[in-house]
Amino acid sequence: MKILLADDERGIRITLCEDLEDAGHHVTAVDDGEKALQALAKERYDCLITDIVMPKVDGMSLLRFARERYPDIIVMMITGNATTERAIEAMKLGAKDFIEKPFNNEKVVLLCNGYGKNQVTERKYDQLVEAVKTEFKLDKMVGSSPQMKRLYDDIRTVSESDFSVLIVGENGTGKEVIATTIHQLSPRAAGPLIKVGCHIANVNLLEDELFGHEPGAFTGATGRRIGRFEQANNGTIYLDDIDDMPIDTQAKLLRVLQEREIERLGGDKPIKCNIRVIASTKVDLKKLVDQGKFRQDLFYRINVIDLRVPPLREREGDIGVLVEHFIKRYSPGRELKIEPEAMAALAGYRWPGNVRELEHSVQRALALGGASGVLRKEHFLRDYSVALPEGAEAKTPGDDRRTLRDVVSAAEKAHIQNILRVTDGRIEEAAAILGISRKNLWEKRKLYNLLDPNAAE
């Protein structure tokens, strides 16, 4: 241990210091209480051994100071004027031992050795607990490819800071899981994590979501609404798909990030917000800046640290790991065999929808082939060249020279159009039939130019 020894008796200082150092401890010895106080104020010690009666500052004052500054410090009191009352007082203040002079140095050394071993054990335990917590919080991110291992290391590093983070990755790569993990590993983990989708097309609705409103701010605003930024106070706010944020809202967001304060719609009183901002984008924001669709000053404000999430097609060897993970999640305890041809097809497919698409593919395979105990290629992947949905271009195999991605995209667009027609445009119902989230459906409609420009999403 790192020990501070304070005693005005020279003989005790020299002999006890030598014996403790022989036992492997690091000892700083001082001859009065004031020097001991200065040493404690300057650096941390594992253990304080102090006489009670000393010049300038007494041992009881040292005990109080040491325990207030370092609650886990071990304090051993030594005195030539022992009384029961003084011993009780010292123990109440947190002293571990009360030793009467004269004493045997070997006794003190043995006590220190025991405390030192306990401290080492406790520190190793704390380190193990932290390591387990970290791994537990990263366990939703499945993959052992070199690309993912680098990403895990980056997540651990950025989580320790309080800087803004921009997560860049295609749809379905798990950006929201990464944002959640960063928050859980950060010093703000005890605070709230508030998630906001920036794809709301109506500017007023998005700003109301972000900043809240006061009564009477607009027609129908009968009460006060607390916005997402206020809800995230002392925690983290996650702005998903910030590339979809309207340019007018971007200007207001920039002010929030600069001033760390917001104003509710219809309000005139600034409200301080202590927040960390994590944003995500599915496109290159720099290109949007060059096109005048994203504010340059906001880009640099949110892009303090950027994390790039690799698409599934670039994650070497992760397909099989993810398939096994999803099978265990959705069909726990069942023995299922995957045909080699099926795994080869999965490994060769481009996965434009990334991990989310693979997850849905595994769910489909379990529904179609789970009862047989054998999962085949056709269970995982639809054969679009055989029968395309209504509206998709159906050429004969000999004439069709499109890439697999183009064929899949055409089929997907046609099927979404068909489901929207069947449900009369009811988004919630359409998303449920398609087996995707409302947000994911919105992203696909935007990708295929199927959005109604007059509708408020």
Tens digits of residue pLDDT in 87-109: 888 888 888 888 888 888 998 99
Q: Which two structure tokens, joined as six digits, stand for 48? A: 């304080």
Highest mean pLDDT among 25-34, 375-384, 431-440: 25-34
Question: Do 297 and 361 have their domain in common?
Answer: no
Question: Do 160 and 224 have their domain in common?
Answer: yes
Domain boundary among 121, 155, 174: 121
Question: Do 15 and 41 have their domain in common?
Answer: yes
CA 44 to chain CA centroid, Å, is 31
Q: Does the residue 398 lie in any domain?
A: no
Q: Which helix (H) or strand (E) holds 129?
A: helix 105-138
pLDDT digit string (tens) for 186-227?
Answer: 989 888 999 999 887 678 888 888 988 888 888 777 788 888
pLDDT digit string (tens) for 339-398?
Answer: 888 888 888 888 888 888 898 999 989 988 888 889 988 888 875 333 333 444 434 444
Instruction: Check which CATH number belongs to the domain holding 100 and give it.
Output: 3.40.50.2300
Question: Do 298 and 322 have their domain in common?
Answer: no
Q: Does the residue 152 lie in any domain?
A: yes
Question: Do 265 and 148 have their domain in common?
Answer: yes
Q: What's the mean per-residue pLDDT of the chain? A: 83
User: Distance (Å, rounded) from C-alpha 189 to C-alpha 322?
Assistant: 27
**Which residues are CB-contacts of 394 (< 8 A; sequence separation ≥ 6)?**
388
Question: Do 297 and 318 have their domain in common?
Answer: no
Q: Does the residue 391 lie in any domain?
A: no
User: Distance (Å, rounded) from C-alpha 434 to C-alpha 420?
Assistant: 10
Q: By residue range, what is the domain housing residue 17?
A: 2-121
The residue with tokens 């410090």 is: 73
> Would you say residue 259 has pLDDT above 70?
yes
Q: How would you classify the pairing of strands 337-338 and 374-375?
A: parallel
Whether the link from the prior residue into 102 is cis, omega within 30° of 0, is yes
Total structural domains in the chain?
3
Instruction: Check which CATH number belongs to the domain holding 242 and give it.
Output: 3.40.50.300
Q: Does the residue 405 lie in any domain?
A: no
Highest mean pLDDT among 68-77, 299-308, 395-404: 299-308
pLDDT of residue 389: 38
Evaluate whether 426 touches 444 at the Cβ level (below 8 Å): no
Question: Do 222 and 328 have their domain in common?
Answer: no
Q: Does the residue 423 lie in any domain?
A: no
User: Distance (Å, rounded) from C-alpha 388 to C-alpha 411?
Assistant: 6
Q: 241, 235, 238: which is closest to 186 by C-alpha?
A: 235
Q: Which helix (H) or strand (E) holds 448?
A: none
Lowest mean pLDDT among 124-133, 184-193, 196-205, 422-431: 124-133
Question: Do 240 and 208 have their domain in common?
Answer: yes
Question: Do 247 and 326 have their domain in common?
Answer: no
Question: Do 193 and 331 have their domain in common?
Answer: no
Give the DSSP per-residue string, 341-410. Answer: HHHHHHHHS--TTHHHHHHHHHHHHHHHHGGGTEE-HHHHS--TTT-PPTTS----TTT----HHHHHHH
User: Distance (Å, rounded) from C-alpha 291 to C-alpha 153?
Assistant: 33
User: Distance (Å, rounded) from C-alpha 202 to C-alpha 457?
Assistant: 7
Measured from the Cβ of residue 191, the count of other Cβ atoms closer than 10 Å reads 17
Q: Does the residue 390 lie in any domain?
A: no
Q: Does the residue 396 lie in any domain?
A: no
> Would you say residue 138 has pLDDT above 80?
no
